[in-house]
Homo-oligomer: A and B are copies of this chain.
Amino acid sequence: MRLRTLLDQYIQTRMKKNNHQKSIHSGVKEIAKMANVSIATVDRVLHNRAGVAPSTKRRIHRIIKELDYKPNIIASRLASRKVFHFAVLIPAVSDETDFWQGPLNGVIRAEKTIKEYGVKIDFYFFDISNRNSFVEQSHKVFNNNVDGVLLAPSFINEAKIFTEECRKNKVPYVLIDSNIPHEENLCYIGPHLFRSGLLGAQLVNLMLGEEGEILIVNIAHEVDDHNYLLEIEQGFRSYFSYRDLHPDIHKIDLRQTDYASIAKSLDKIFRTKDTPIAVFVTNSRVNIVARYFEEAKIEIELLIGFDFINKNIEYLKKGIIDVLICHKSEEQGYKGIMALYQHLVLEETVENIHFMPIDIITSENCEFYSN
């Protein structure tokens, strides 16, 4: 009933608008005439540029309100030759993981759709396993012309220094993939990690019931440095504690990320009796665990991990990984650039936090997934 009403309202509003359709869409010219000034002065007020008498300014503002004037962005972009420079500071795609191909593709897609509006994008790729490369690249950003920044704060402390620099220079920045909450962020676009962990646990619970041991696997050079992994793990555990369930949950932190080391560690667990029946890997490296199971010819009930990357999809299709939890990495890149565009070019307000959907991917729906 509620929806019906809203719909009706919408249609009525549209009809009214259509009737007035031919009433010439008011522009700077009309405002100028009404205010007895030139269009140049109107333009100054519209863009908050200095050098307008306060009284004139007030008068023009009043008229703008009255007419409910909306600038014609088409005309604005055509007339203006200002070029906006966006810097993108994200990890390079590496042999180890192609996760960052997603956001990169999204950035490129956004670039294509708005390049006509005078946006240029400069890339600064750093090495995800090398803290210094982040610092190095972040220094380069301010050497060039830069109006806005998109960054993945993979190294939290270094990223904090960098974002502070942005704030000092009045350069708006967008965070993707993980967040460093700060009121002056333009916005964060990425997953709600805790909730992703909750979902992982729900899937385990739905698929296994409450029997059998569950193993959480964290794989990262610096596990403790990434609150990324910790938030997911906390979410995962909370699902059960919220419901007063007490499954047998073990966990292992693997700080060596090469296959041999990981296989060795897993061997210690899976070559014994009473092995876990479900394994939850807290990031995209689930494919390494899958490879281990494949090579060691071990079959477990359930293997869940994260991220829509090629190596993971391969094991998903083979039936070794059962479920991937994904966060639309391509979309993060796309939306990140569009947020800068909205703020800087369109001068519109941008919502501060965009949580990505938490997608459940299996071998049967992976084909149609748009990352």
Contacts and interface: CB of A to CB of B under 8 A. Distances in A.
A77 B360 CA distance: 41
B199 A365 contact: yes
Given A75-B78, A202-B362, 8 more contacts: A7-B104, A72-B78, A74-B77, A192-B368, A195-B367, A206-B207, A239-B364, A360-B365
Contact of A74 (B4, B116, B192, B358): B116
Interface in A351-365: 355-360, 362-365
B117 A195 contact: no
A326 to B, nearest CB: 11
A358 B368 CA distance: 7
B74 A202 contact: no
Given A116-B74, A195-B367, A206-B207, A98 B355 contact: no
Contacts of A3: 93, 98, 101
Contacts of A199: 362, 364-365
Contacts of A95: 1, 4
Contacts of A120: 18
A190 to B, nearest CB: 11
Nearest to A92: B7
A240 interface: no
A363 B93 contact: no
A351 B186 CA distance: 35
